[in-house]
Structure 1
C-alpha cells in the first residue's frame, strides 16, 4: 500500500476561507464604526492574515507528524496567500462595484483632505487626485489586491517557514499515515 502524504492545499483553503470571512467582518466593522478609510487603525486587518498563515503552516506540520521542511512550510504559506488573494480580490471587486460603491469616493475625499492638510499646492493635489482616480476602479483594485496579498504572503511565508521548520531525524522513516500498514514488510 502507498503511504499518502498530506496535501498542503487542504489547510491552505480552510484558513483562507476563514481569513476572508474575518476580512469581511473587519471591513464592515470599520465601515459601521465610521473609521476613516485611510486610518492607520485599518492596519489591524493584517494581524489575522499573518495569524492564519501561521496556523496553516502549523496545521500542515501537524498533519505530517510534527515535521515540516522549510520548502513544505513555504509552499503551504504560498498556497494560503494565493487562495486568500483570490478570495479577497473577489470580495474587493464585489464590495467596491456592488456592495459599497460610494466607498471609493470616501477614500478619494479622505486622501484629498490629507493632501490639503499637508499644505500641498492645489495643482499638485489635482495631479495626485487625477492619478488616484485612474486606479480607484473595482477591477484594478482587485488585481492590485491580489498581487499585493501574494507578495506580502510570500515574504511572511519565507519568515514563518523558518520558524515552523522541524526536520525529521535522518534515520526515521517518513510514515505520514500510520493507519495504513506497510505492505513491503
Structure 2
C-alpha cells in the first residue's frame, strides 16, 4: 500500500492565503476606484468579512478533501489562522501602498467621511450633541493615526487576535471527524 504524503496545514495555507489576500486587495482597489467613501462604509466591512469567511471555508474544504475527507479541529484551526495571516499581510501592504504611495491624501479624506458618518449615527441616537469639541478632536486624531504606517502595523497586531478568534469559528466549520474510528 502506498502511503499518501500530506502537506502540513501551514504550508497548505500559503497559496489560499495569498489568493485570498489578492482577492481582497483587488476588491479594495475596485471599491477605491468606484467611490473611495465606500471603503469606510459598514456594508463594505461586512461584505469583506463574508468574502474572507467564504474563501477560507472553500479552501479549507479543498484541503480537507486532499487529506482524505477528514480533518481535526487543530488542523483546521491552523490552516484557517495561517490563511488569514497571509491574507491580512497582503491586505496591509496593499493598504499602506494605497494610503502612502498611490493616494497620500486618501487617509485624510476617509477620516473626514468616517467622522461625518459617526456624527450622523450619534445624532440619530440623540448623542451627537453630548460630545465636546475635544472629544471630537480626539476621535479625529485616533482615526488619522490608524492610517499611518505605524497605525497600520498596530491594526495588524490587533487583527491577529481577531484572526485567532475567527480561526476558531472557521476551524469548527471546516473540521470533519472520521466517525468510522469511533468504537
Band of TM-score, shorter chain: 0.7 to 0.9
Mapped to 1, the partners of 2:81 and 2:117 lie a distance apart of: 35
Mapped to 2, the partners of 1:11 and 1:4 lie a distance apart of: 12
Q: Which has the larger radius of gyration?
A: 1
Mapped to 2, the partners of 1:51 and 1:6 lie a distance apart of: 22
Q: Are the aligned partners of 1:71 and 1:161 in contact in 2 as well (CA < 8 Å)?
A: yes
Mapped to 2, the partners of 1:45 and 1:153 lie a distance apart of: 14
Return the match for 1:161 from 163, 168, 171.
Answer: 171
Unaligned stretches of 5+ residues in structure 1: 172-185
Mapped to 1, the partners of 2:142 and 2:33 lie a distance apart of: 28
Q: Larger % of helix: which?
A: 2
Query: Which segment is superposed worse, 157-166 or 111-120?
Result: 111-120
Q: CA deviation at 1:2?
A: 6.4
Partner of residue 176, structure 1: none
Mapped to 1, the partners of 2:22 and 2:32 lie a distance apart of: 15
Partner of residue 86, structure 1: 89
Q: CA deviation at 1:29?
A: 2.2
Mapped to 2, the partners of 1:67 and 1:113 lie a distance apart of: 49
Summarize the Cα distance change of 1:131–1:7 in structure 2 as closer, same or farther, 3 Å threshold: closer
Q: CA deviation at 1:35?
A: 4.8
Over the residues paired in the alignment, what is the CA RMSD in angstroms? 2.4
Q: Are the aligned partners of 1:88 and 1:146 in contact in 2 as well (CA < 8 Å)?
A: no
**Within the alignment, does 1:130 sit opposite 2:141 as a pair?**
yes
TM-score by length of 2: 0.79
Q: Are the aligned partners of 1:73 and 1:164 in contact in 2 as well (CA < 8 Å)?
A: yes
Unaligned stretches of 5+ residues in structure 2: 121-127
